Amino acid sequence: MARIVQCVPNFSEGRDKEVIEKIVDEVRKVEGTKLLDYAPDKDHNRCVVTFIGTPEAVKEAAFNACKKASELIDMSKHTGEHPRMGATDVIPLIPISEVTVDECVEMSKAIGKRIGEELNISVFLYEKSASSAHRQNLAKVRKGQYEGMNEKMKEELWIPDFGPNELNVKSGVTAVGARMPLVAFNVNLATNNLEIANKIARAVRHISGGLRYCKAIGIEMKERDIVQVSMNMVDYTKTPLFRVFDMIEREANRYGVNVIGSEIIGLVPTAALVDCADYYLKIENFSHDQLLEKRIYE
């Protein structure tokens, strides 16, 4: 399979179609990328663009789109409900195929450096790319938003990784970082008792003592009269789906409740599911190179 990185930049323009098209065109123009989706949101006045490509093409397209946004968006006039700090608010880089997360970290640094040097925009590296622990969480980096950034960057703790430590008034501040693909994975329980779903969510999720790369809450599925453990699996290579599934089944059993089924919402990396087959079939010495499709695009 080819080397593929996914990039999901968020731009602070969700209303002016012409501006959005011009930014998205910068992605379309770069050979070796493929635009998957872009979703302008009027209330948030924000547009999330999803594209994939080879590492080199993604680096080029991400920078070009950010440059175009810096030309066309004026943050000093921006309003919208979603927290934001820059014309290009955030550039996440996600390893999809034959690329490691470390390579995406390197990419984020290269992109951030260019944005800082060539566009004179302050850049914070976040998530796996963060230069220190307090910068990992995007919400913390963005806290204070556009309006508070000039003050924030004067603090020792918040000197940008690239670019000036003074606000670029027109373009604001951009976060760039590598993260693992997120899998939205829900497990349905044969009960309508929300308390049970919440107890199980607390058992499996990282924040309350559970699995490191699992976020979970209990929710009601009113139409079906059942409850669900709703999860974001934020690194399936380290906290695999089968482990959390088996744990939920066991916890549910403790309350005399069966697991009805599970759901995967949206896209999932093939490897996240192949790893489950590997586990349940107890395959010895399985290599992902044995997947026939890998041979096609190598």
Is residue 110 a contact partner of residue 58, using CB atoms and an 8 Å limit? no
Cβ closest to its own copies, residue 136 vs residue 262: 262
Cβ closest to its own copies, residue 208 vs residue 290: 290
**How far lies 18's CA from each of 21, 65, 73, in Å?**
5, 14, 11
Exposure of 36 by Cβ count < 10 A (0-12 exposed, 13-18 middle, 19+ buried)? Answer: middle
Q: Which residue has the tokens 């050979």?
A: 31
Least separation, in Å, of the C-beta of 273 and its own copies? 4
Binding positions for its own copies, rule: CB under 8 A: 1-2, 4, 6, 34, 36, 52, 96-97, 181, 188, 241-242, 245, 259-264, 266-270, 273-278, 280-286, 290-293, 295-297
Residues pairing with 34 in the sheet: 52
82 is catalytic: yes
Cβ closest to its own copies, residue 94 vs residue 115: 94
Cβ closest to its own copies, residue 192 vs residue 262: 262
The one catalytic residue among 82, 134, 206, 288: 82
Residues pairing with 86 in the sheet: 172
Contacts of 257 (CB under 8 A, 6+ apart): 189, 190, 191, 193, 196
Cβ closest to its own copies, residue 72 vs residue 274: 274
Is residue 58 a contact partner of residue 8, using CB atoms and an 8 Å limit? no
Least separation, in Å, of the C-beta of 189 and its own copies? 12
Residue 133 main-chain phi, psi, to 5 deg: -60, -40
Print burial letters for 240-273: b (CB count within 10 Å at least 16), e (below 16). bbbbbbebbeebbeeeebebeebeeeeebbebbe
Least separation, in Å, of the C-beta of 181 and its own copies? 7
Catalytic residue set: 82
